[in-house]
Chains A and B, each alone.
Chain A
Amino acid sequence: MMPAAALEPAEHAWAPPHALLLVCLSLLVLVLWCISLATGYAPLDLAQALSDIANGNKTLGALVLVELRLPRALLGCFVGFSLGITGAGMQGLLRNPLAEPGIIGVSGAAAFGAVAIFYFGLAGAFALALPLGGIAGAAAATVLLYGLAGRGAGTMTLILAGVAINSFAAALTALALNLSPNPYAVTEIVFWLLGSLADRSLPYVWLVLPLMLLGWGLLILSGPALDALTLGEDTAQSLGFDLARLRLQLVAGTALAVGSAVAVTGTIAFVGLVMPHLLRPLVAHRPGRLLLVSGLGGAALTLAADIGVRILPIRPELKLGVVTAIIGAPFLFGLIYRLREEA
């Protein structure tokens, strides 16, 4: 494993008080969430719509708010939080600033699960077919991951198993595109894979929220063990942490949170890589504290990007995953440049 301490410059010895940081980030997420609610294509009198909902009037405004805006804003929040917190968890586990939640292969498999639903023409069969397919893909990948890199296997085995699962899911996705019955299905699959929050309904939210909450809980509980892991595996173990259990906990948490995120939105790149990296100096490089902070940062970034795609005068609407990748990739160039400078 790379000794990351050598890669991370120490120019930010100062860090804000942790509680203050959490409050500020939470407020930022709240503000962006409200802006996301207020943003959209149909003109909407937000105050009127809210009072309609309060009075039980099923007006068009109330319908737009509840059926279109609300699920989009909620999912932006939850999906972003999932990506941010799992990114921080994976970087902490692997002690590598270039790790991201997709590294264990669950997101690739979730994407394939949804693609299979499109391929077999089941997307319209019932309302939740797509996310359920994605979740099934993520679950299958998790079982495979435990089979390949179960209890007793080291971190390297886990990464290799992730690479293998990712390649296999990508191959199956390519196969589905290859054998696709008509160009329309191909377009549908490709557009879905690009990642978007548009046109998701509230049942999507209720389907994935419990899974995500469970995943977030598993990740947050692993905080002290991730702190201890800063000193290496032997020392972490000598401090009373069971590393095999920690790996299982982080893999399960990541699979639950990211698997369900990808199942509803498709692939949204770079949030899980960039957020932990940007925010790490603000928690004085403490991996345990980074979890929640990175989750909030991920929610803020995802909401902001999703507001951006609706405000930008580009039609057809840019896919959210495309925007985060376009913002994120240059960031990666910068990161590589900095690592090279310090080498």
Chain B
Amino acid sequence: MEIEADAISVRFGAVALFEGVDFAMRAGEMVGLIGPNGAGKTTLLRVLASLRAPEGGRVRYRGRSAAELGRRELARRLAYLAQDASVHWPMRVDALVALGRLPHRRPFQGVTAADRDAIEQAMAATAIMSLRSRTLAQVSSGERMRVLLARALAVDARVMLADEPIAALDPLHQLQVMQLLRAIAGEDRGVIVVLHDLALAMRFCDRLVLLARGGILAQGAPARVLTDDNLAQAYGVEVVRGERDGIPFLLPWKPSGQGEGGA
């Protein structure tokens, strides 16, 4: 297993966010983390990235703990794309993407040929080559998201953890980013992505983990997770379903009047 988490519990003081969460991800898999607001999706993702220590349970990366791997090695294995898209200084786009190479850099070493290749590939994959000499203040918010995605890609990590990467994007860019994440997962790398858009989650992910009511409500193939019953319990919504080119889709339609999301 690329990432394996056993019995993860997170508490804020006396209040438990979730308890006893088990999670595993294989190489080449794209896993969607879904659930209502406040269910702990971002927190679970941060625990999986070892950015936050859980109050209970442990996370292993191919059988080894974060402490055993060390910060640098962990940083080379995991790329983390934060939900917060703020960039504090208006650096040039290419310099920003190059930050993804920092885990590979020795002290006082410049940019190597391998670094340059990874940076170019990441910019090509996200179609931001033409923006390379602009500053972050000179790109749109959709372009900014792609720049940040390129930064995460430049790490060249085995696993990408992305927190709501499409929340601020228009439909075209949402589709493009999902296709890109799908393509990354295809190359024997894993992707864990936090999503709110159930239709896109259903369509692009191999597996979904539905986080609600203090734990994992359901996990597995999208069709098995996104049942009417689960959706009513987790989100308190009813959905309409359809099919296009043999691919099922769904659309949230109305509050179901039951479940925590409807309150």
Contact = CB atoms under 8 A, between A and B. Distances in A.
Contact of A239 (B75, B89, B91, B107): B75
B96 A230 contact: yes
B86 interface: yes
Nearest to B136: A5
Give the interface residue-count category, chain A.
20 to 34
Interface residues of B, number: 37
Interface in B54-99: 71-72, 74-76, 78-80, 82, 84, 86-92, 95-96, 99
Contacts, number: 101
Contact of A10 (B51, B82, B102, B135): B135
B99 A5 contact: no
Contacts of B80: 234-235, 238
Given A238-B75, A238-B78, A284-B92, A230 B87 contact: yes
Given A5-B87, A13-B134, A234 B92 contact: no
A221 interface: yes
A241 interface: yes
Interface string B30-59: 000000000000000010010100000000
A287 B89 contact: yes
Contact of B91 (A9, A221, A232, A285): A285
Interface string A151-170: 00000000000000000000
B24 interface: no
A240 B137 CA distance: 26
B182 interface: no
B8 interface: no
Interface string B232-253: 0000000000000000000000
Interface in A232-280: 232, 234-235, 237-242, 280
Nearest to A237: B51
B179 interface: no
B103 interface: yes
Given A235-B82, A238-B49, A239-B75, A284 B87 contact: no
B76 to A, nearest CB: 8
B138 interface: yes
Nearest to B83: A234
Contact of B137 (A9, A235, A238): A9
Nearest to A242: B71
B90 A285 contact: yes
A210 interface: no
B257 to A, nearest CB: 37
Interface of A: 1, 3-6, 8-10, 13, 95, 221, 224, 227-232, 234-235, 237-242, 280, 284-287
Given A235-B82, A239-B99, 13 more contacts: A4-B88, A8-B89, A10-B90, A10-B137, A230-B88, A230-B89, A230-B96, A230-B99, A231-B88, A231-B96, A241-B71, A286-B89, A286-B91
Interface of B: 46, 49, 51, 71-72, 74-76, 78-80, 82, 84, 86-92, 95-96, 99-100, 102-103, 105, 107, 133-138, 148, 151, 155
